[in-house]
Amino acid sequence: MNTLIPYLIVDDEPLARARIRRLMDKQLRFVCVGEANNSASARPVLDETAVTLIFLDISMPGESGLTFATELRQRFPRIKIVFLTAHPEYALEAFDLHANGYLVKPLREDKLMALLMTIFPEVETISYHVGNELRHVQLADVLVAQADDKYTRITLKSGADVLVDISLKALMDKFPTHFVQIHRSTLVNRNDIAVLESQGHKHFVGLKSLSARYEVSRRAYSQLKALL
């Protein structure tokens, strides 16, 4: 999915808003369209800007998040509401308002990512383990996948590398419109290819988002020329 998903943060705690923003900034399919410290300051944003997802604190000065959510459900029935609170006892009341999610502070990144996957299943992801912890990266953020012993090393738009326990073949079979195979040990994001060049008898591909070049096999070279 290429369309960015706009979200709004409504929380009276600056540190809480900053925490959500930092975590969401890692998710390149989402864009923050505003921050508000209460419902009154959130209304102008909602009136003037399309918002798909709202992170809503429950305990705020003045009108509570639960009361504001009742209004949101009437005015914007399609908006996704994720409640944020340090008080788990509000969970039942929150889901009575058809909340799409409920996260307890301090916010955990793994809980947030799992919830986003549930709310937006169209945002394709690749899952991997760090110890006993299951993590996820969005497919759109993956630029390169290279065989690395028993694992596959994927390179993200941020430049970070992650080892995943899924084979190149499995990635290619699952995401054939995202990857193109340029070598028996390398896949690249076909939408990020910037240049295909030759040096002597060797061929290389350059990407828009990374400075590194990747070797292309002779067999893949002719296929890439047709693709580009």
Tokens of 8: 């709004």
Tokens of 84: 């944020």
Does the 140-227 domain belong in CATH 2.40.50.1020?
A: yes
Residue pair 188/182 in contact (Cβ under 8 Å)? The answer is: yes
DSSP assignment of 139-200 equals: GGGEEEEEEETTEEEEEETTS-EEEESS-HHHHHHH-TTTEEEEETTEEEEGGGEEEEEEET
pLDDT at 88: 73
What average pLDDT values come out for the chain (228 residues) when binned by 10 residues? 84 95 84 96 96 94 90 94 82 72 88 88 79 79 92 92 90 91 95 92 93 92 82
Strand 80-85 with 53-57, pairing: parallel
pLDDT at 216: 95
C-alpha span between 66 and 70 (Å, rounded)? 7
Q: Domain coordinates of the chain in residue numbers?
A: 5-119, 140-227
Name the CATH code of domain 5-119 (choices 3.30.565.10, 1.20.1440.230, 3.40.50.2300, 3.40.50.620): 3.40.50.2300
Q: Identify the sign of the CA torsion 8, 14, 15, 16.
A: negative
DSSP class of 135 = E
Residue pair 56/30 in contact (Cβ under 8 Å)? The answer is: no
Residue pair 29/1 in contact (Cβ under 8 Å)? The answer is: yes
Give me the helices (H) in 49-125, please. Answer: 65-75, 91-96, 109-119
pLDDT at 217: 93
* Longest alpha-carbon distance in the chain: 71
